[in-house]
Chains A and B, each alone.
Chain A
Amino acid sequence: MKKLFWIPAALLLLCISCKQDVLTNLSLREKMNAKISELTEMNELGTVEYKVTKVIKASDDAKWYQFGDRKILFQCTAILKAGVDLNKFDPSKIKVNEEEKSIMLTLPKAELLSFNLPPESAKMVYEKVAITRFDFSARERNLLLQQGEKEILDNVPTLGILQDAEKNAAAFFKSLLSQMGFESITIKFA
């Protein structure tokens, strides 16, 4: 009796798993062969780099239908670069006086140019999962790191990186323009 029940069930499960595997692999193979890439031009001057560390922690407490909690803790370091996007630079705003060797440059306001949270800099330092619960999946861990990424990005205006980027951009252009022979250099941001 037991055999009669288990044989068709096992066959059904085998069919389902085989079908899924074939379908998944086919579409994946197609996707893996097709290279999706693009090369674009940029015109940015990064003037400051910040390293920001953050502890990302989450507690998944048991709901009424669950037993036991799950806790996880990451320590991550993100690299943020800020500077000026020279695509927004308006050459008509430059005032040059060749006789007096003076120049007035109006640069665009500093902005965050890149945010980099490499996988190896996101270290999982603690994980506790009750025996009655499933481990954190790779998808869940990545979703938590995504929230951490968003929190750092949301805090960019309070970090002071944009002010430093403008200060450094002004210093860079002053040094460059003095090497180019200008004696009076004024840098503005607008």
Chain B
Amino acid sequence: MKQNNIIRYIPVLAVTVLVLVAAALLWLKLKPKDEGLKIDETANVVTEIRKIAQFTSACYYEDVILKDKKANESLGGKVVNSFSKKDKPILEDEIVIVASGNVRAGFDLSKLSEKDIVIRDSVLEVTLPKAEIFEVIVNPSGFDVYVEDGTWSHEQVTKVENKAMNKIRKDAISDGLLEKATELGVTKLTELFKTFGYKEVVIHTK
């Protein structure tokens, strides 16, 4: 008796599935191609101009992948997995960001004072300031949202992006960016100053 009831519903189910598939196909055919969001034209306003003298001698490039998870907010983030001993939410949002950035380092030549440049006969002696990191750059074009499950606010994404930038900065320092910037900077500036006619150029760093 029960089996007969089930068999009776099969054609209804089949027709429902067919109608749904046909509707989906029709939707895909009729839906216009999404050209993507376009921003409105706005002005670029220069708010500050600063004179600098940054001699960049080394650059570190890195691609990092950062993953973050949070409790799904649609359930208030309070539904806890009762099967697990850990206080872990049952539904989690996940985001994976690929960041391609660079770190620029070198000497800030605006810190050179008169006493840092000494000329004896035709020997030029220059004392450079310590090599430093000028900036860590990861622009919007350097970020790729690879996985995005759930809702992530702009602030939450910014936090993950900042983590990626900090990682790139840390890796650059541990990979010897400052040492390389010092070594390369001294070589390049020695070559440059020699072209000014000095027979010998001696460069020290602080």
Contact = CB atoms under 8 A, between A and B. Distances in A.
Interface of A: 1, 4-5, 24, 28, 31-32, 35-60, 63, 65, 77, 79, 81, 83, 86, 89, 91, 94, 96, 98, 103, 113-120, 122, 124, 127, 135, 137-152, 155, 159-160, 164, 168, 171-172, 176-177, 179-182
Contacts of A127: 154
B57 A41 contact: yes
Chain A interface secondary structure, helix, strand, loop or mixed?
Answer: mixed
Nearest to A122: B140
Nearest to B117: A179
21 contacts: A1-B6, A1-B9, A37-B61, A39-B59, A39-B175, A40-B60, A41-B180, A43-B57, A46-B53, A46-B56, A46-B134, A51-B48, A52-B47, A53-B45, A98-B197, A148-B140, A149-B141, A152-B44, A155-B44, A168-B51, A176-B109
Contact of B46 (A59, A144, A159): A159
A43 B140 contact: no
B11 interface: no
Contacts, number: 225
Nearest to A155: B44
A146 B140 contact: yes
Interface in B125-165: 134-135, 137-141, 143-145, 147-148, 151-152, 154-155, 157-158, 161-162, 165
Nearest 6 interchain pairs by C-beta: A145-B140, A51-B48, A119-B161, A37-B62, A46-B54, A124-B154
